Each structure stands twice: as structure tokens, then as C-alpha cells.
């Protein structure tokens, strides 16, 4: 179908026109790659009635469309047969089965032929526009001519002796009798294309809000339109207000216009994140922003130390004065950046067909009292008609959107060609008519939603809304009116329904679970900072952006989730680390153990160093040493230890935050203890000191005793008494034969 859609777009881009049957057809060449010879490739017919399928007495039935031939052979000139069914379609299942049959064949009974006309040749690889006009006189519904309602319509084309194909559509026959219009409320998500950024970059914001930008187109289409509620992504509000003086003028003007709109409004989850996926991944509460990185320099005149409101977990902050342009007297905070005067502030809108019972409990616990559910997520038992949107699912208040109408609405808003748009609008028109005919006298109020997975893809949104407003059997209804069915004393009671569990895929839940665990780990690590929000705030905003419903069906989501996980892992395991060191030798009993910590973060951190010894060789004297490491630098500290014996030992060094969260992986440091060398050296030195002092004392005592003996010698000794003359004189002094022990 992508091939055929591309062919139609090419045809329109070069100005293809619709040629009457019998006139030369205007063929549009396709690219060479579009010409395929595969046997299973078949021609595609797209035809739809004019006037959005509405037809009254005396009006010709004009049918326009195209025949696309992607095969390698030309489709020969042939015959077109237009057929109508006389009976009104009364069941939605019958209409849906007709418009989208499981298969088609030449034997299908399509109805009563009201026109047969020749068709031109369709060359290989070409798309040829065609138009058929059925005169009013040829349209005969017989006894059913007075019955208002939808009739099935088909165009069958044959050529070369076989059927080329058939195109099925429908009309709404309006003989003037009419029925009670079905009231239809619409819900539009006001979001931006998918991005992993927690805040919209300034350049993109300027583009989105400029003339022709995605946000401008969306707001232009629904501004002050009755019956259209706007679900607003708070990320847009915060991204504009946080810029202060640097806010693009187009963004300021756009926000002022949004604030002045009279539409019903309600907040989407931040970044339109997937509420059901987070719930089913066991998030403990609704995920909301925890902080924003406000740059005080963008708000001149406001002191940077001005206290701001404490973080809140409320998904719907109360409105406060906006602080763009530095006009307020306080810096913008978590509440004011997201504030908006919502008419319905407590609405949850999970992705269609993604909810289980526990999710509803979680939404209500988080303060979201009303949930928008797709009709495929609820059941009404044996009910044989389409009920109004308001429904009680158990004890929960829900607004059930009609999946069938929403699909036709999206097909029209996103149609790449006029032919496809006309087909989608006629299908939507007929579907509403069948609903109206189910209970002709009873007014019902339904809801339909626009696709949220492709923001900005609704290129025909304005055209679709204008056509829908012109349908006589459809009337606008506000979301507040639908929600009022739950009010006490309401004249319209909500229907009773049961939840049909539609859990999200196991693979998606597993990925979201991993993302939540990664964010939690980074949050615990952030306790090393004086201001943990510098990490936790950014991680939460990025997580919410990754959970945006706009990523649905985008293959790039897997790569972006890996980037998120890798960044969180770098925070936890690589940003603050213990520097590697060589083996340390201790030669003393009491030595300080040096520890170096590296901080790669752009903010200072405070860590606590803890050392563990596996043996008694070393004991740790202080097992918790505080260390402050400046941004992108290293710092050293020492841990006092005591050596008790010689030998090798491996110490384990770990870092924790002030809240005892382990930071990075523990490191091992090898230490060789040789403290006994210090003991032996001390003993030798002590012996030498004792020897020196002992010898000095000995000499002192000996000298004193010698002097005393000399003084105490006998006085009658003959000093002239000499030795024999044959003896040689000597200089030796007399020796005291008495041994004195000191």
C-alpha cells in the first residue's frame, strides 16, 4: 500500500486531473522502481462519491477515483460497472465488512447496476484518474426510497475479458426525512514529533510555532472549534517558559493564543508518555518531572537564590503566573513551568487498547479520576447498539472513544491524495449514519480521537473537520458535556461496561522495566551531589520523552533506549571512580593508606572512602573518610591503618554517598607489610644508644676512682727513693692492682 500511496502522491504533485470516461485519460508515469512484474501485484482501484457521500433525490451521483497499475502489463480498455444496494445498512459490522472485505472476487454480488461506462487503457506502472456520473434518473431505490440511511456502493472494472478489480464505498441517502443527529466529540493531542529530549530545543520550538509549523497547524485547525477538546503536552509549555528572555517570539505568541482558546483542554502526561506501559512495568506511581534546569541568567532582575517551590509529584499542577521574559519576581519552578488553566485537569489518556484493570487503579491513585479508553478495551455485553461514550467500568469513570470512527477520522486527516481523502470521508459519513439509524429517536454522544503516534502528519486536518461539521447527521459535543454524565443529578446516566484487558507487548514492558531500573540506579548515585536534581531531573525528563506515544512504530526507539541506558550506566559506574594504584609497601606499624578518587562529572561530589581488610595483618583505624572531589578533577585522601604482622594483603576500597549508596565498583589495593624491619632497626639503634651511654658512664666512673686513689696515697712514702740503676727509666704510670667493677 505504501507503493500505491506514493503513486497517488506523485500523480497529485504533477497536477493530475480527473478525466471523464470516453475522453483520453491523463496517465502519470511512476518511477522505474514502481514498475513491478511480480505475479501477486494487482491493480488498485480507489473510488468514492462526491459530497462526502451525501446524496438526495434529484441529484446525480458523481464518483471519482483512480486506477493504479503497478504491474508490468498494461490494463486494456474495458468497462466500468457502478452498482448500488437498495436497502439501508443497519449494522455497523455489516458496513465495516463491506468497506474492508477479507477478499474479493469476480463472483461477488455487489448490488444493482446503475451505470455501465467504458474505461481507458491503464499503461504499466501508471495511475489513471477516472470519473463516472450516474444520472439521478438512474438511481432507483424502489420501496426503500423513503428510508434514510447508508447504502453500499461499488465500482467494478473489467478489461481484456476478466475483472481488473473492484472498489467499495458507500453513500448516505438523504430523502429529507432525516434522523436524530449523533453528537460527536473529538479529542486532538497537541504534541510534537518524537524526540529523546526532555525539553524541546529552542531551534525546533521556533520552527514548530512558526507559520506552517506543526504546532501552529494543529492549533489553527482546532482553535475555538466547538466539540474539539485539546490534550496538551506539558513539555511544550515548560519548553517555552523555561527560556525566559531567549524565548522565540513565535513561541510566545503561540502560547498566548493557546491560553486564549475556548476549547475544552486537559493535560496529557509529560511528553505524552505511555501511561499504561509505565504502570504495567510496575512504576510505583505516575511518572512526572521532578525538576527543571532553570538558567537564572535568562530571568534578569530575579536573584538566583530566590527559593522555588519544592518538587511535586502531582501530574496536574495548579496554574500559577507564567514566568516568561523575566517579568515575574521569582524564578520559574516545577509547577509554574507546566501550569495551565485546564477545563478538565484530571483526565488520563493512555494509548488506545493498552490498558489492564490494575492500570485504572493506578491512574486513580495518582489523581486522574477519568480515563479515556478505546472501545476495543471495553465490552458492553449483549448491547445491540452503540452506547454513549461515558461508561462506568467497575468503579472507574471512563470516556470510551469509538475506535471505528477514529480510524476513519485518521485516514481522512492523513490522506496523501484527494481520492483517498474522499474515500475516508465517505466511510466516516456512512459509519455515523449507521450509528444514527440504530436508534433514530435517541440522541447519543460519542467520542473519536486523532492518532497520537504521528504528530503533524494530519495534513488534511482542517479539510476533514470542515467536512465533518457540514454533515447533517453529526453534531458537535464538548468533552465537558460527555464527562458531565458522571456528575450528581445528571439527566444522562453512564453506560455500564467491563474492561477487556489489552496488555502491552511483553517486549515493550521488559524494555520499559529496564529503563525504570536504570533511572532508579542513576537517582541513587546522584546522592553524591550537593544537588542531586542535576542528574535526577534530566534522567526523568529524558525517560518521559522516550516513553512518548509518538515513538509508536518507530524503529529508532530501540537505539534511543540503548543510549539512555548507556548514559545512566556511565553515571553509575564510570563518572566517579577510584584511581588505580601500584602495590604499596608498609614498613612501619602505623601508616596512612593513600586513596585517589577521580570525578569526571561537571559538578563537585562528596564521597566517603571505606577500606576493608580480609585479615589481621592490617587493621583499619577509620573506616569512613569523607572526601570532596571538585568537578572534572582528582582528589587524594589517606586512611589510617595499623600493621600487626608482616605479609601481603589485598585491601578492598569502596566509595559511598552520604546516604550510604555504593558508588562505582569496589577497588582492590595490594599491600606488602614489612613492619618487622622497623622493629629490628629500632632494637639495633637502641642497643647502640645504650652502649654509647654505658661506655661514657664507665669512663666517667673510672676516672673519678683513679683520681681518688691518687689523692689517698701514704704521706711517709720517700719521694727520693729510686729504683736500681740497672733498670731503665719508664714513662709508665703506676698501675693500681686493685680491680674496680663499675
Query: What's 438's DSSP letter?
Result: H
**Residue-wise pLDDT tens digits, 72-114:** 999 999 999 999 999 999 999 999 999 999 998 988 989 999 9
Does 2-178 carry CATH code 3.90.1150.10?
no
The answer to whether 229 touches 199, Cβ cutoff 8 Å, is no
Q: Which of 286, 207, 194, 275 is nearest to 235 (CA)?
A: 194
Over residues 469-490, mean pLDDT: 93
**pLDDT > 90: what percent of the chain?**
72
User: Of 102-106, 116-120, 291-295, which gets the smallest average pLDDT?
Assistant: 102-106
C-alpha cell read off for 256? 498566548
232 by DSSP, 3-state: which?
strand
Confidence of residue 11 (pLDDT cuts 50, 70, 90): very low
CATH number of 183-499: 3.20.110
Question: Which CATH number applies to 577-673: 2.60.40.420, 1.10.10.10, 2.60.40.10, 3.40.1350.10?
Answer: 2.60.40.10
Question: 209 versus 581: which is more confidently predicted?
Answer: 209
For residue 484, pLDDT over 60 is answered with yes
User: Of 45-49, 148-152, 182-186, 611-615, which gets the smallest average pLDDT?
Assistant: 611-615
Residue 686: what pLDDT?
A: 63
Distance CA 567, CA 570 (A): 5
User: Of 30-44, 153-167, 204-218, 609-623, which gets the smallest average pLDDT?
Assistant: 30-44
For residue 742, pLDDT over 90 is answered with no
pTM exceeding 0.75: yes
Distance CA 648, CA 701 (A): 50
Residue 240: what pLDDT?
A: 98
**Intrachain domains 2-178 and 577-673 with the same fold:** yes
Distance CA 672, CA 649 (A): 6
Residue 693: what pLDDT?
A: 78
Place of cell 530545543: 201
Residue 445: what pLDDT?
A: 95
Question: Left if phi > 0, otherwise alpha if psi is -120 to 50, otherwise beta: which for 293?
Answer: beta
Place of cell 583505624: 621
Distance CA 190, CA 231 (A): 6
For residue 305, pLDDT over 90 is answered with no
**Residue-wise pLDDT tens digits, 324-345:** 444 457 899 999 999 999 999 9
Q: Give the mean pLDDT of the chain.
A: 87
The answer to whether 429 touches 388, Cβ cutoff 8 Å, is no
Question: 160 versus 361: which is more confidently predicted?
Answer: 361
For residue 197, pLDDT over 80 is answered with yes
Beta strand residue intervals within 469-537, DSSP E:
474-476, 495-499
> How big is the chain, counted in residues?
742
Residue 676: what pLDDT?
A: 57
361 by DSSP, 3-state: which?
helix
Domain coordinates in residue numbering, the chain: 2-178, 183-499, 506-573, 577-673
Over residues 563-587, mean pLDDT: 89
The answer to whether 473 touches 433, Cβ cutoff 8 Å, is yes
**312 exposed, middle or buried (CB, 10 Å; 0-12, 13-18, 19+)?**
middle
Over residues 296-317, mean pLDDT: 63
Amino acid at each position: 500500500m505504501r507503493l500505491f500511496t506514493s503513486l497517488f502522491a506523485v500523480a497529485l504533485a504533477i497536477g493530475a486531473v480527473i478525466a471523464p470516461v470516453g475522453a483520453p485519460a491523463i496517465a502519470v508515469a511512476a518511477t522505474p522502481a514502481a514498475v513491478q512484474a511480480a505475479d501477486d501485484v494487482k491493480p488498485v482501484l480507489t473510488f468514492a462519491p462526491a459530497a462526502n457521500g451525501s446524496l438526495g433525490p434529484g441529484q446525480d451521483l458523481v464518483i471519482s477515483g483512480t486506477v493504479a497499475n503497478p504491474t508490468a502489463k498494461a490494463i486494456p480498455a474495458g468497462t466500468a460497472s457502478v452498482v448500488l444496494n437498495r436497502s439501508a445498512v443497519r449494522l455497523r459490522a455489516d458496513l465495516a465488512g463491506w468497506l474492508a472485505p477479507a477478499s474479493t472476487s469476480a463472483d461477488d454480488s455487489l448490488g444493482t447496476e446503475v451505470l455501465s461506462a467504458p474505461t481507458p487503457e491503464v499503461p504499466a506502472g501508471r495511475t489513471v484518474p477516472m470519473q463516472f456520473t450516474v444520472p439521478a434518473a438512474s438511481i432507483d431505490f424502489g420501496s426503500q426510497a423513503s428510508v434514510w440511511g447508508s447504502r453500499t456502493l461499488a465500482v467494478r472494472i473489467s478489461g481484456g475479458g476478466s475483472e481488473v478489480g473492484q472498489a467499495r464505498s458507500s453513500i448516505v441517502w438523504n430523502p429529507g426525512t432525516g434522523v436524530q443527529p449523533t453528537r460527536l466529540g473529538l479529542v486532538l493531542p497537541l504534541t510534537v514529533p518524537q524526540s529523546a529530549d526532555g525539553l524541546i530545543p529552542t531551534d525546533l520550538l521556533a520552527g514548530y510555532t512558526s507559520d506552517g509549523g506543526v504546532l501552529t497547524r494543529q492549533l489553527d485547525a482546532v482553535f475555538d472549534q466547538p466539540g474539539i477538546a485539546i490534550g496538551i503536552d506539558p513539555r511544550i509549555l515548560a519548553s517555552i517558559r523555561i527560556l525566559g528572555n531567549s524565548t522565540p517570539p513565535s513561541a510566545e505568541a503561540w502560547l498566548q493564543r493557546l491560553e486564549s482558546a475556548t476549547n475544552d483542554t486537559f493535560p496529557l502526561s509529560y511528553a505524552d508518555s505511555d501511561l499504561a506501559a509505565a504502570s504495567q512495568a510496575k512504576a510505583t506511581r505516575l511518572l512526572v518531572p521532578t525538576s527543571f534546569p532553570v538558567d537564572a541568567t535568562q530571568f534578569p532582575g530575579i536573584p538566583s537564590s530566590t527559593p522555588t517551590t519544592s518538587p511535586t509529584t502531582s501530574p496536574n499542577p495548579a496554574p500559577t503566573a507564567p514566568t516568561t521574559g523575566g517579568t515575574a519576581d521569582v524564578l520559574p519552578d516545577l509547577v509554574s513551568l507546566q501550569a495551565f488553566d485546564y477545563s478538565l485537569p484530571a483526565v488520563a489518556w493512555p494509548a488506545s487498547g493498552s490498558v489492564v484493570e490494575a492500570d485504572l487503579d493506578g491512574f486513580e491513585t495518582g489523581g486522574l479520576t477519568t480515563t479515556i479508553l478505546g472501545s476495543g478495551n471495553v465490552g458492553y455485553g449483549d448491547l445491540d447498539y452503540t452506547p454513549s461514550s461515558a461508561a462506568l467500568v467497575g468503579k472507574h469513570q471512563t470516556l470510551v472513544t469509538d475506535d471505528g470512527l477514529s480510524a476513519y477520522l485518521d485516514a481522512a486527516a492523513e490522506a496523501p491524495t484527494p481520492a483517498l481523502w474522499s474515500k475516508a470521508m465517505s466511510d466516516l459519513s456512512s459509519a455515523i449514519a449507521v450509528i444514527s439509524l440504530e436508534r433514530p429517536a435517541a440522541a447519543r454522544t460519542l467520542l473519536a480521537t486523532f492518532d497520537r503516534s504521528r504528530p503533524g502528519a494530519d495534513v488534511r486536518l482542517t479539510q476533514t473537520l470542515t467536512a465533518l461539521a457540514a454533515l447533517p447527521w453529526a453534531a458537535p459535543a464538548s468533552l465537558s458535556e460527555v464527562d458531565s454524565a458522571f456528575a450528581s443529578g445528571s439527566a444522562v446516566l453512564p453506560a455500564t461496561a467491563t474492561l477487556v484487558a489489552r496488555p502491552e507487548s511483553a517486549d515493550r514492558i521488559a524494555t520499559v522495566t529496564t529503563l525504570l531500573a536504570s533511572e532508579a540506579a542513576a537517582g541513587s548515585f546522584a546522592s553524591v551531589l550537593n544537588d542531586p536534581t542535576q542528574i535526577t531531573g534530566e534522567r526523568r525528563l529524558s525517560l518521559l520523552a522516550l516513553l512518548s506515544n509518538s515513538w509508536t512504530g518507530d524503529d529508532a526507539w530501540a537505539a534511543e533506549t540503548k543510549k539512555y541506558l548507556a548514559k545512566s550506566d556511565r553515571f553509575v559506574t564510570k563518572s566517579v571512580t577510584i584511581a588505580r594504584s601500584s602495590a604499596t609497601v608498609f614498613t612501619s606499624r602505623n601508616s596512612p593508606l593513600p586513596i585517589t578518587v577521580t570525578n569526571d562529572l561537571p559538578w563537585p561530589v562528596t564521597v566517603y572512602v571505606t577500606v576493608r581488610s580480609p585479615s589481621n595483618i592490617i587493621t583499619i583505624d577509620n573506616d569512613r573518610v569523607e572526601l570532596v572531589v571538585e568537578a572534572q578533577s582528582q582528589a587524594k585522601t589517606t586512611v589510617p591503618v595499623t600493621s600487626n604482622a608482616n605479609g601481603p594483603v589485598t585491601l578492598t576500597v569502596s566509595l559511598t554517598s552520604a546516604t550510604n549508596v555504593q558508588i562505582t565498583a569496589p577497588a582492590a589495593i595490594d599491600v606488602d607489610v614489612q613492619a618487622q624491619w622497623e622493629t629490628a632497626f629500632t632494637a639495633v639503634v637502641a642497643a647502640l644508644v645504650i652502649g654509647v651511654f654505658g661506655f661514657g658512664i664507665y669512663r666517667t666512673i673510672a676516672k673519678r676512682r683513679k683520681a681518688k686513689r691518687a689523692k689517698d696515697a701514704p704521706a711517709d712514702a720517700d719521694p727520693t727513693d729510686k729504683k736500681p740503676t740497672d733498670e731503665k727509666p719508664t714513662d709508665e704510670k703506676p698501675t693500681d692492682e686493685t680491680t674496680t667493677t663499675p
